[in-house]
């Protein structure tokens, strides 16, 4: 019976998920955690959202304050005048993925400066 041998122990960096503008996805930074899968997210468009972690990634990814996330804002019909708009948190980026997005100009420089202030 052949043995399972690893040929290369080095990590392979995969291309991270890119925001799809057709679906209305944007980047955001988690600014505050409320509990119960709810958190405040500052979007790349300058709007503060109430982020809700999607059920598919609830147990798979741990989202912390200061993380860069991919969000999909809810439709305009669900927005109330007196409350923050809501958005689904679709993906959390690691530091290497944030560096990749920065090198390929998917993240604006002003947005990263806001990340440093949090």
**CATH code, domain carrying 82:** 2.40.50.140
Two structure tokens written together for 104: 């390929």
> What are the tens digits of pLDDT across the range 72-111?
998 876 667 778 899 999 999 998 998 888 888 888 878 8
Is 13 a domain residue?
no
Domain count of the chain? 1
Is 82 a domain residue?
yes
* Residue 99, C-beta contacts closer than 8 angstroms, at least 6 positions apart: none
Is 52 a domain residue?
yes
pLDDT at 47 over 70: yes
pLDDT band with cut points at 50, 70 and 90 for residue 5: low
pLDDT at 62 over 70: yes
What does DSSP assign to residue 44?
Answer: T
What is the Cα–Cα distance from 42 to 44, expressed in whole angstroms?
Answer: 7
Is 89 a domain residue?
yes
User: Can you give the pLDDT at residue 39?
Assistant: 94
Query: Cβ(56)–Cβ(92) under 8 Å?
Result: no
Is 87 a domain residue?
yes
Query: Cβ(52)–Cβ(27) under 8 Å?
Result: no
Over residues 4-8, mean pLDDT: 58
Residue 41, Cα to own-chain centre: how many angstroms?
9
Range of the domain at 41: 21-117
What is the Cα–Cα distance from 28 to 13, expressed in whole angstroms?
Answer: 22
User: Can you give the pLDDT at residue 4?
Assistant: 60
């Amino acid at each position: 019976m052949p043995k399972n041998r690893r040929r290369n122990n080095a990590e392979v960096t995969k291309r991270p998920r890119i925001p799809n503008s057709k679906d209305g996805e944007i980047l955001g930074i988690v600014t505050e955690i409320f509990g119960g899968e709810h958190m405040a997210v500052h979007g790349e468009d300058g709007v503060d959202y109430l982020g809700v972690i999607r059920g598919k990634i609830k147990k798979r990814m741990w989202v912390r304050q200061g993380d860069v996330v991919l969000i999909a804002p809810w439709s305009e019909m669900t927005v109330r005048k007196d409350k923050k708009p809501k958005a689904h948190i679709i993906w959390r980026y690691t530091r290497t993925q944030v560096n990749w997005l920065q090198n390929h100009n998917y993240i604006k420089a002003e947005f990263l400066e806001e990340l440093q202030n949090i």
